[in-house]
Amino acid sequence: MSGIYIHVPFCESKCGYCDFYSLRTDKDSVFVTNFVNSIVNEIKMKSYIFDSHTISTIYFGGGTPSFLPIEALERIFRAVYEHYNVEKDIECTLEINPEHATDSYFAGLKSLGFVNRLSTGFQAMDNDGLRYLGRRHTVDDNMRYLSLCNKYCFNNFSVDYIFGYETLTESEIERSFRLLIQSGVPHISAYSLGIEEGTSFMLKLRKGIIHKMDDDFFLSQFNLIHHILESAGYCHYEISNYALNDMYSRHNSSYWNFVPYLGFGPSAHSYYNGIRSWNERYLNKYFKQIEMRKEYCESETLTTDDMFNEYVMLRLRTRKGISISHLERVFPQYLNHFYKILHRSDLIGYFDINNDYINLNLDGIFISDHIISEFFV
């Protein structure tokens, strides 16, 4: 099985914490038309790479995929269907902004017949939090989205939530997650607020307008969210992801299991045959790339060291963790190094060891970036 990721770079406004590539524009802009034409051409151009693959997941991410009209989404999907072998029970996910959740848009999605999973960034369930995060929508939009998912029988959907900012209280977290649970949300992604270079949040931080919270604050909110969701029957299957009834994101899970994928659109990455490649980041440069029939702007062939590092990094993000038998079979030359790090006195307390698998415990998950980097060769 293989996956396809389509990056839609358009936004109506830029969130203060976001460092993904996106462009503010109007829906009737020539950029949108040129973008759809370029995506369709890129899909055709790269199809030979996966001529013996079956596509099991498609993910429209961004940016704001719901910025595109229904007709544009259909044209892109038809191009995939025409040039690739597509699995019958494919998972096709569309990211949709809560403010775009209208009867007409949901009816249009349902009429397409191929979008069967939705993902949306609520980020907060109170209007004060939404204003702090710079979101365009309101809690009413969130609730309308939940209602429309039910009305149009989108039973497989995900909601994103951000924690770890100064105005968010634990009582608000409890209220928000009880509401999400009562609403039957089958998949929830909970992310700690990161303040990255090049974002307006970083500028505000330097000016003292906002403040970064300490580790104890993050840890307390993380533990609270984890307890609420696990008590409600959600499986914590990846560092930031919780699901009911095994309704995991098949697309994201494929990344953590080294399934090959092709990425289309500006800044999109691909991985196949041990090669990682990526497109031009900026839209006009991306248009030029496709016009010149360049399949990517840069690429790298992963070394054995790279593959070991990525295996450790990706597998320790998951609940299942690292398979010792797989490590012994595929990376025997790194076993001594791996066990040396694993049994270090400052790290061993952050792992659970269950038969063939080693995974991070809850304390380890909170400092996973540090722990994972210690294993790198």
pLDDT computed for residue 11 by the predictor: 79
Judged against a pLDDT cut of 80, whether residue 347 lies above it is answered with yes
pLDDT for 322 beyond 70: yes
With contact defined as beta carbons under 8 Å apart, do 153 and 117 qualify? no
Rounded to an integer, the average pLDDT of 335-354 is 95
Q: For 144-171, what is each residue's pLDDT tens digit?
A: 999 999 999 999 999 999 999 999 999 9
Q: Which of 212, 155, 164 is nearest to 184 (CA)?
A: 155
Helix (H, G, I), strand (E, B) or coil at 139: helix
> What pLDDT score was predicted for residue 359?
96
The confidence score (pLDDT) of residue 201 equals 86
What does the pLDDT read at residue 30? 81
Average pLDDT of span 34-58: 96
Over residues 62-80, the mean pLDDT reads 93
**Backbone dihedral angles phi then psi of residue 258, each to the nearest 5 degrees:** 60, 35
**CA pair distance 170, 225, nearest whole angstrom:** 9
Average pLDDT of the segment spanning 123-136: 94
* pLDDT per residue as tens digits for the range 269-316: 999 999 999 999 999 999 999 999 999 899 999 999 999 999 999 999
Q: Read off the pTM.
A: 0.93
Write out pLDDT tens, residues 197-224.
888 888 898 999 999 899 999 999 999 9
Q: Average the pLDDT over 260-264 and give the result.
A: 97
Q: What confidence category does residue 26 fall into, taking pLDDT thresholds of 50, 70 and 90?
A: low
Is 186 in a helix, a strand, or coil?
A: coil
* pLDDT, position 28: 59
Residue reference for tokens 């608000």: 172
* 186, pLDDT greater than 90: yes
- The tokens describing 24, both together, are 């503010």
Higher pLDDT, 25 or 197: 197
Long-range contacts of the stretch 140-146 (C-beta < 8 A, 24+):
141/98, 141/99, 141/101, 142/98, 144/98, 144/101, 144/102, 145/96, 145/98, 145/101, 145/120, 146/183, 146/185
What are φ and ψ of residue 269, in 5° steps? Answer: -105, 155
63 upstream amide cis, omega within 30 of 0: yes
Question: How far apart are the C-alpha atoms of 51 and 256, rounded to whole Å?
Answer: 23
Instruction: Summarize the confidence of residues 86-100 as an average pLDDT.
Output: 95
Q: Picking from 20-24, 139-143, 222-226, 299-303, which range would have the lowest pLDDT averaged per residue?
A: 20-24
Question: What pLDDT does residue 65 have?
Answer: 93
pLDDT band at 318 (very low <50, low <70, confident <90, very high): very high
What mean pLDDT value characterizes the chain?
Answer: 93
Which element (helix H / strand E) includes 30? helix 30-45
pLDDT band at 10 (very low <50, low <70, confident <90, very high): confident
pLDDT at 25 over 70: no
Q: Tell me the pLDDT band of 97, cut-offs 50, 70 and 90.
A: very high
pLDDT exceeds 80 at position 15 = no
**CA–CA separation, 201 and 207 (whole Å):** 10
Task: Report whether pLDDT(16) > 80.
Answer: no
Domains observed in the chain: 2-256 (3.80.30.20), 304-375 (1.10.10.920)
Diameter of the chain measured on Cα atoms: 59
Provide the pairing of β-strand 157-163 with 187-192: parallel
Average pLDDT value for residue range 58-69? 92
Provide the angle, in degrees to the nearest 10, between the axes of the packed helices 368-375 and 335-342: 140
115 SS3 class: coil
